[in-house]
Amino acid sequence: DGGITQSPKYLFRKEGQNVTLSCEQNLNHDAMYWYRQDPGQGLRLIYYSQIVNDFQKGDIAEGYSVSREKKESFPLTVTSAQKNPTAFYLCASSGRQGLNYGYTFGSGTRLTVV
Amino acid sequence: QKEVEQDPGPLSVPEGAIVSLNCTYSNSAFQYFMWYRQYSRKGPELLMYTYSSGNKEDGRFTAQVDKSSKYISLFIRDSQPSDSATYLCAMRFNTDKLIFGTGTRLQVFP
């Protein structure tokens, strides 16, 4: 079945560490997105990519980095510069032919700083 | 002012009630309107989408868009405990980026 796979489901980070969240899709979608979700704040866009080897900052890109070397993959690195990284992270994708149909989301990664 | 406003709730209703969830928006250029349902600790899933103004019905769910008032609604008939979730509205121009509301938490009690 086609879909988006995020891993790991739960991730713990020590202070000062970088961690990378994985996002893989087999939907043949061109565009991919990373969101952060905090209680009461809805979804906030971190980075997005509409084509391989190209990506743009979203509303809260500071302290995060991404790469898009393959159409299927869009990993997110949470760097030590992100001062409050504890949150629920969601990856999504959309296809050009599906502009009217919104995004397909993964099941999320819950990151906790310990 | 946020582009999309949504009451966070929680909205608590008895089983069988009709639920009305709403969003207002400020940008008249929005053309595509969507509703997502998100269960706790899961990713959102697309529930309904509508293009421009009008109504769309799918089973117990009806999505309504009033572009003149910049107001969209999702109605749930005969609500069930399994409908308990957070409902997010979303909308877009012709570009890929969706603008999301903050979500309304719905609780349907037996």
What residues of chain A, 52 to 81, have a C-beta less than 8 Å from chain B?
none
Which single residue is written with the structure tokens 């509303």? A59
- A97 pLDDT band (50/70/90 cuts)? low
User: Whole-angstrom Cα distance, residue B17 to residue A92?
Assistant: 32
Residues forming a β-bridge with B12: B107
Query: What gap in Å lies between CA B71 and CA B43, rounded to an integer?
Result: 25
Mean pLDDT of A90-109: 82
Mind telling me how many Å the CA of B36 is from chain A's nearest CA?
9
CB within 8 Å: A42 and B88: yes
Cβ pair A42:B101 closer than 8 A? yes
Following DSSP, what letter does each residue of A69-98 receive, concatenated?
SBTTB--EEE-TT-S---EEEEEEEE-GGG
Lowest mean pLDDT among A87-91, A101-105, B11-15, B43-47: A101-105
Smallest Cβ–Cβ distance between A107 and the set B42, B51, B94 belongs to B42
Average pLDDT of every residue of chain A? 91
Best residue of B30, B97, B99 to probe chain A, by most A CBs closer than 10 Å: B97
pLDDT digits (tens, 9 = 90+) for B59-100: 999 999 999 999 999 999 999 999 999 999 999 887 668 899
- For residue B101, the chain A residues in CB contact (below 8 A) are 42
Q: How far B61 CA sits from the closest chain A CA (Å)?
A: 17
A61 falls in which pLDDT band (50, 70, 90)? very high
What's the pLDDT at B93?
A: 80
Query: What's the residue count for chain B?
Result: 110
Return the SS3 of B81.
helix
Average pLDDT, chain B: 93
The per-residue DSSP string of B15-71 comes to TT--EEEEEEES-TT--EEEEEEE-TTS--EEEEEEESSEEEEETTEEEEEETTTTE
A11 touches chain B (CB under 8 A): no
At B62, phi and psi to the nearest 5? -130, 125
How distant, in Å, are the alpha carbons of A29, A49, A73, A102 from that of A52?
A: 11, 7, 9, 20
Q: Which of A5, A10, A43 to mutate to test the interface with B (most CBs of B within 10 A)?
A: A43
Indicate the residue of B49, B88, B90 with minimum beta-carbon distance to A100: B49
Provide the phi-psi class of B59: left if phi over 0, else alpha when psi is between -120 and 50, else beta: left
